[in-house]
Amino acid sequence: MSPLLVMTIALVLNTIGFANYAAVLPALMADTGFSEAQAGLAGGAFFLSYAVASPVFAALTDTLAPRRLYALGCSLGVAGGVLFPLLSTSYEALVLTRIASGIGMAGIYMPGLRLLIESIPADRQARAVGIHVSALTLGLSASFAVSGCAQSLLGWPSAFMAAAVCAGLAMMLVVATMTSPAMRKVSESLPARLKSVARGRGIGWMLLAVAGNSWEGMAFRTWWVALLTFAVTSPSNIHFSGLNLALVTAFTGLLAMPLSSFVAHRAAQGQRHRVIAIAAGLSVIAGVVLALCLDMPFPVIFAVSVIYICAIFSDAGSLPPAMLARVSVSDRGAALALMSLSANGAAWAGVTICGFLLEFSGGRGTIFAWQVAILAMAAGSLMTVIGMLILERQERQSLSD
């Protein structure tokens, strides 16, 4: 198999543990009694640990074998899947295992990108990275599908075990088929390398754009099934209450991935910042529309929510190539580290804050609370629009000078 196919399959397998928590969140909350704020904190713990660990793993790809780092990340993903709720269903156990899963995801994502980049010719790298990153949307859908099926057959705890099995399969695939590139010695410390890259022209605005996309995408994906669960509790929508909502949301990756790849392709052809800004702007509009239609019939709410999530992820495949285009080959590891830190720090904040907004705006049983949370999510893509438009202006000014 080609390196792109291998690493994309492995990414999808590892992503089963990315959204399994979101897929079973309503049932988990009902069984355990965890509040919206607690659920948001636990969901955010995944992204916070991911954010903290990502710079370390990404920078280590410059000096250590990415394949070994990848295997370590998969091992942590396995541990995060089997420890909760196999050993305990306490809130502390949930938070600890979400932290382990977050570190595991950091251990596979950046080393996996580095393995892919170093395994293909330079002229195909940008396109390959765009396709690979776009596969995250497919992985998220696979996570919902696998978790939804597992929940239907064996209950919500089995969704965590399924994630552990998939992480183990991904580790075996990568270790058996991929080879690590030759590593080089670096004299600068990790903080110094990150600081050097961060000072690059336009990097700050790029990181703002990345943060906005992740804030919105991960917050909405975490709370989407819970939102739809609220929608079917309306008396007019009660006949939809028998739906397996994790399963019915799973197909969105089949729509979002080609859309993301298309936007990435258009961005690579020229006017990269403008293309990304347009995609992000459409996401803001879709989020506002969704917030305004929460009292409508369930099919309308569901359709608009599908459009919204496709819009959210439409620019996901465009952002990594835009970031890598601003740094030298030797600084790719540090650039990816900064990007991951920004993205997952924002995801942690978005998931957590939206949980608190839900609880303190009336609870997940009220339209107003969901409207507040959705508008807070949509603010993320507004940040992306701002970052891209500023970069677009800087680019025009540099061409005119």
> What is the CA angle 65-66-67, rounded to 5?
90
Is the pLDDT score of 345 beyond 70? yes
Q: Could you report the per-residue pLDDT of 113-137, keeping only the tens digit for each?
A: 888 888 888 778 767 876 777 677 7
**3-181+189-400: in CATH 1.20.1250.20:** yes
- Record the pTM: 0.81
Instruction: Specify the higher pLDDT residue, 349 or 261.
Output: 349
- Across the range 85-96, mean pLDDT stands at 88
Contacts of 266 (CB under 8 A, 6+ apart): 275
Alpha-carbon separation of residue 94 from 80, 101, 104 (angstroms): 9, 11, 15
Q: What is the DSSP string of 27-47?
A: HHHHHH---HHHHHHHHHHHH
In terms of average pLDDT, the best of 138-147, 322-331, 365-374 is 365-374
DSSP result, 82-103 = HHTTTT--SHHHHHHHHHHHHH
Instruction: Assess whether pLDDT exceeds 90 at residue 349.
Output: yes
CA distance 307 to 129: 24
Banded model confidence at residue 335, pLDDT cuts 50, 70, 90: confident
Mean pLDDT over each residue of the chain, to the nearest integer? 88
Highest mean pLDDT of the ranges 11-25, 47-61, 179-193, 296-310? 296-310
The pLDDT value recorded for residue 312 is 93
Least confident of 51-60, 101-110, 215-224: 51-60
Map out the domains of the chain as residue ranges.
3-181+189-400
Tokens of 252: 């969105």
pLDDT at 330: 72
CA 85 – CA 54 distance, rounded (Å): 26
Does the pLDDT of residue 223 top 90, yes or no? yes
Neighbours of 210 (CB within 10 A): 27
d(CA 377, CA 328): 33
Is the bond preceding 26 in cis, omega lying within 30 degrees of 0?
no
pLDDT for 240-288, tens place per residue? 988 888 888 888 777 877 888 788 888 888 788 999 999 999 999 999 9
Short-list 216, 198, 206, CA closest to 346: 216
